[in-house]
Amino acid sequence: MNKDQSFLEQINFPSDLKKIPESQLQKVADELREEMIDAVSVTGGHLGASLGVVELSVALHYIFNTPNDKLIWDVGHQCYPHKILTGRKARIRTLRQGGGLSGFTKRLESEYDPFGAAHSSTSLSSALGIAVANKLSNKSDNVIAVIGDGAISAGMAYEAMNNAGASKTKMIVILNDNDMSIARPVGAMGTYLAKIFSGKIYFSLRETIKLITSAFSKRFTAKAGKAEDLLRSVVTGGTLFSSLGFYYIGPIDGHDLSSLIPILKNARDSKHEGPILIHIKTKKGKGYSFAEAAKDNYHGVSKFNVKTGEQFKNTNKLPSYTKVFANTLIEHAKKDSKIVSITAAMPDGTGLDIFRKEFPDRTFDVGIAEQHAVTFAAGLATENYKPYAAIYSTFLQRAYDQVVHDVAIQSLPVRFAIDRAGLVGADGPTHAGSFDTTYLSTLPNFVVMAASDEAELVRMINTSTEINDRPCAFRYPRGTGLGSVLPSIYEKIEIGKSRIILEGKKLAILNFGARLHETLKAAENLKKKGVNITIIDARFAKPLDENLIWQLATTHEAIITIEEGSIGGFGSHVVDFLSKKGLLDNNLKFRSMNLPDIFIDQDTPDNMYKIANLDAKSIEEKVLDVLNSNIVLQKQK
């Protein structure tokens, strides 16, 4: 090793890390933490979770033979130190940027990412699948899954643990317990883990090694085995995991490499048949004072000043769609005691932290459990309450069966507030709200709305309060509004009624959702070229404004639908209506503009919409193409 270089400068891959003396690993961790703080200060991202697993990342890559040994990070927002150690150090300042590194693990990015993530609680299932594949192939490679205390509370994690314990397949699970996911974990599992820590201090290293060594020995007498089980139950409190068939070890200090290294080594070398769970205690934001002191431990940060911790916030003073939703719901809840709100571990992200301050007894954070959240809401609806399930579009996908079976079939008036609809920027395809219009508007008797601006969002919330005979959903984008004047909470929309924004000739655009602003930009440019078009704010994907669509189809030469969602959504329903009514037989031209049949990688939202051909320029070009105009559109240089 070059003595003139820092340790981290000499590490490009885990094979380089293994050359460093064990006694120097804490220095590696310190340098790794410093490098990561500096990198994220430039890019923004999920800093707090990554700070908490620096020592763990060093220990795992030091002990295990990655990438042959498979290391799976649940969610993946804590994977930044892992990326730096696995050949991506030189690109770490491209994190979450267009053409750069993903903010999560991604199979196409590196062989050290055996399973892509971004949604929680998938690591145990995928790890078990890989471990079983190894067993079937007679491979001895290790499989390690790292899952947080919030993610392990989700139903999918329990299903995986139940299966893994019964399968007798060796896999190593690291339970990274930092008492914090995005929001503070809720529910019985969090209480259970807290009780494990409340009764005692961490194992001493000597006690831990002694216990592990005895547990992993090939054979021990029945009497000794019973004594060991009793000791493990009394000392660790890991009865639940033991009952599920895991050999439980812990809790131990996840920032103490002198404990982590020998424990991981023993787990690696053990002949134990069946899954092993190592419970470690870490601190989110560890090693950066500003993160440690912050309420959210810098879970997700914008660019910031390393010396002061000050984040460079957007100077836009307009309220976010999320805040408009929360404040509007609060005003209705003041007048209607039946209104309640539900979030699945995202109170801050959905605005329900604001609602909770006003109505703590009417706000329910059910943890990372979207399926339960939906059916819980359905139960409330049967008793004449008015539940608002505020869930990101990308996360609502996880509860689709419950939406269909427990809500839609029973026609229960659950209101779905669908945040982060459309493309979302730096979080990339895993968090894009691309499919909700399609998967909801296929359901009978469902009302599906999309807000074109924050004023329309208020009207849709107002309208939803009186939809008492069926489920409804209103979708809205991430970020700030357009500065529209907000209406009163008494201003509602007739169900299935569109609004006419501009009246023109020959071609009509039916816009569904937040692309209306770009559509109006396109219309301004077209007007300068002598092309005047009709623009409709459709508002509803279901039910459609069939009377208006019929009118447009019989008075215009062409119709274009625009939506920030996948095929099968609003445009598909419009063309289905036109086809069934025979309106396409009269030389009516029809085009749909929706998200392309690809997953769009992280970038700025503006660039993502350009890639999707849903920006003003693309809309303008589509109109001219449909009209077969002789106007030559000057290409952008």
Confidence of residue 295 (pLDDT cuts 50, 70, 90): confident
* Residue showing tokens 């969002």: 457
What's the confidence (pLDDT) of residue 184? 53
Q: Is the pLDDT of residue 185 over 80?
A: no
Under a CB-based contact definition with an 8 Å cutoff, are residues 477 and 421 in contact? yes
| Residues in contact with 72: Cβ distance below 8 Å, sequence separation at least 6, in sequence order | 105, 114, 115, 117, 123, 126, 127, 130, 143, 144, 145, 146
Q: Is the pLDDT of residue 374 over 70?
A: yes
Confidence of residue 271 (pLDDT cuts 50, 70, 90): confident
**Burial tier of 87 (Cβ tally within 10 Å: 0-12, 13-18, 19+):** middle
Amino acid at 630: N
Segment 575-595 mean pLDDT:
94
- Percent of residues, the chain, with pLDDT higher than 70: 89
What's the confidence (pLDDT) of residue 581? 95
Active site residues: 284, 370, 398
> CATH class for domain 321-475?
alpha beta
Instruction: Encode pLDDT of 126-160 as tens digits.
Output: 999 999 999 999 999 999 999 999 899 888 999 99
Instruction: Encode pLDDT of 274-283 as tens digits.
Output: 999 999 999 9
What's the confidence (pLDDT) of residue 195? 52
Q: Is the pLDDT of residue 227 over 50?
A: no
What's the confidence (pLDDT) of residue 500? 98
In the chain, domain spans: 49-78+103-287, 321-475, 499-626
DSSP states of 544-583: --HHHHHHHHHH-SEEEEEESS-TTSHHHHHHHHHHHTTG
Quote the CA–CA distance of 622 and 405 in Å, as a whole number.
Answer: 39
Q: Is the pLDDT of residue 186 over 90?
A: no
* 589: nearest Cα among 501, 506, 500: 506
Q: Is the pLDDT of residue 272 over 60?
A: yes
Least confident segment among 23-27, 208-212, 245-249, 416-420: 208-212
Under a CB-based contact definition with an 8 Å cutoff, are residues 505 and 543 in contact? no
What's the confidence (pLDDT) of residue 229? 46
Segment 33-62 mean pLDDT:
96
Quote the CA–CA distance of 363 and 370 in Å, as a whole number.
Answer: 15
* H/E run at residue 474: strand 472-475
What Cα–Cα distance (Å) separates residue 621 from each residue in 270, 515, 548, 625? 64, 15, 25, 6
What's the confidence (pLDDT) of residue 191? 55
> CATH class for domain 49-78+103-287?
alpha beta
Quote the CA–CA distance of 452 and 591 in Å, as a whole number.
Answer: 20
Q: Is the pLDDT of residue 189 over 70?
A: no
Please provide the CATH number assigned to the domain covering 499-626. Answer: 3.40.50.920
Quote the CA–CA distance of 497 and 403 in Å, as a whole number.
Answer: 24
| Residues in contact with 629: Cβ distance below 8 Å, sequence separation at least 6, in sequence order | 529, 531
Quote the CA–CA distance of 578 and 49 in Å, as a whole number.
Answer: 51
Mean pLDDT of the chain: 90
Confidence of residue 429 (pLDDT cuts 50, 70, 90): very high
φ and ψ of 143, to 5 deg: -130, 125
Confidence of residue 192 (pLDDT cuts 50, 70, 90): low
Please check whether the two domains, 321-475 and 499-626, share a CATH topology. Answer: yes
Segment 241-267 mean pLDDT:
91
Q: Is the pLDDT of residue 331 over 90?
A: yes
- Percent of residues, the chain, with pLDDT higher than 90: 82
Which residue did the predictor score with more confidence, 317 or 40?
40
What's the confidence (pLDDT) of residue 604? 95
SS3 252: strand
Q: Is the pLDDT of residue 226 over 60?
A: no
Instruction: Encode pLDDT of 343-367 as tens digits.
Output: 999 999 999 999 999 999 999 999 9
Q: Is the pLDDT of residue 369 over 70?
A: yes
Least confident segment among 184-198, 451-465, 570-584: 184-198
Confidence of residue 633 (pLDDT cuts 50, 70, 90): very low
